[in-house]
Amino acid sequence: MPLIRKQLKPSDVYPDDIRYNPSGDQVEVLIDGVWTPAPQSDPRRQTTLPPRITADTKCDAAQSIADAMENQIAQIITAIDNSLTLFQIAGLILGLFSFGVFTIFINIALTIADYMFGLGSAAILAALPPSAYDTFACILYCYMDDNGRIAAGDLPNIYQDCADQIGATGGQILIEMMSLAGEGGLNNIAAAGTSTGDCDECGCADTWCKYWDFSADSGGWDAIALGGGIFGNLVPDEWQGTDAVDTISSPDISHRGVVLRRIFATRTVTHINIVYDLTKGNIDQVTGSCFRLTSGEIFTGTVLRNLAFNIVADGTNLTQDWTGSISMEEIQFWLFSSRDQTAPYTYGGVVHIKAVTMEGEGENPFGPDDCP
**Phi then psi for 26, rounded to 5 degrees?**
-135, 150
Burial of 82-117, coded b for 16+ CB within 10 Å and e otherwise, reads eebebeebbbbbbebbebbbbbbbbebbbbbbeebb
Would you give the distance in Å from CA 78 to the centre of its chain? 34
Mean local confidence (pLDDT), 120-133: 98
Q: Which residues contact 324 (CB under 8 A, 6 or more apart)?
A: 270, 304
Query: Could you read off the pLDDT of 208-240 as tens digits, one per residue?
Result: 999 999 999 999 999 999 988 999 999 989 999
Query: Average pLDDT in the 269-283 region?
Result: 97
Those residues whose C-beta lies under 8 Å from the C-beta of residue 131, and which sit 6 or more positions away, are none
Q: How far is CA 274 from CA 47, 293, 302, 371, in A?
A: 35, 10, 18, 13
CA nearest neighbour of 358 among 337, 332, 334, 335:
332
Read off the pLDDT of residues 291-323 as tens digits, 9 standing for 90 and up.
999 999 999 999 999 999 999 999 999 999 999
What does the chain come to in residues? 372
By the 8 A CB rule, do 281 and 347 touch? yes
Distance, in Å, from the CA atom of 319 to the CA atom of 297, rounded to the nearest integer, reads: 22
User: Phi and psi for 264 in degrees, rounded to 5?
Assistant: -155, 170
Quote the pLDDT of residue 8: 39
The pLDDT of residue 11 is above 60: no
**Can you tell me the mean pLDDT for 232-257?**
95
Q: Report the pLDDT value the prediction gives residue 199, as an integer from 0 to 100.
A: 96
Whether the per-residue pLDDT at 10 is higher than 50: the answer is no
Do 336 and 276 contact (CB within 8 A), yes or no? no
pLDDT of residue 13 exceeding 70:
no
Alpha helix ranges (H) inside the chain? 10-13, 57-81, 86-94, 106-119, 121-127, 130-143, 155-166, 168-192
Bridge partner residues of 278 (DSSP)? 315, 351
The pLDDT of residue 160 is above 60: yes
pLDDT of the residue at 324:
95
pLDDT band per the 50, 70, 90 thresholds, residue 98: confident
Q: Is the pLDDT of residue 172 over 80?
A: yes
Q: What pLDDT, on the 0 to 100 scale, is given for residue 228?
A: 84
Q: Helix, strand, coil % (nearest 5) of the chain?
A: 35, 30, 35
Model pTM score: 0.79
Among residues 34, 37, 8, 33, the alpha carbon closest in space to that of 20 is found at: 37
Residue 75 predicted with pLDDT over 50: yes
At 100 the pLDDT is 86
The 3-state DSSP class for residue 269 equals: strand
Q: What confidence score (pLDDT) does residue 5 get?
A: 44
Please, are residues 355 and 196 in contact by the beta-carbon 8 Å criterion? no
Integer Cα distance of 8 and 13 in angstroms = 8
Q: pLDDT averaged over the chain?
A: 94
pLDDT of 166 above 60: yes
Burial class (CB in 10 A: 0-12, 13-18, 19+), 238: buried
Q: What is the reported pLDDT for 14?
A: 58
Nearest to 349 by CA among 321, 300, 312: 312
- The answer to whether the beta carbons of residues 180 and 69 sit under 8 Å apart is no
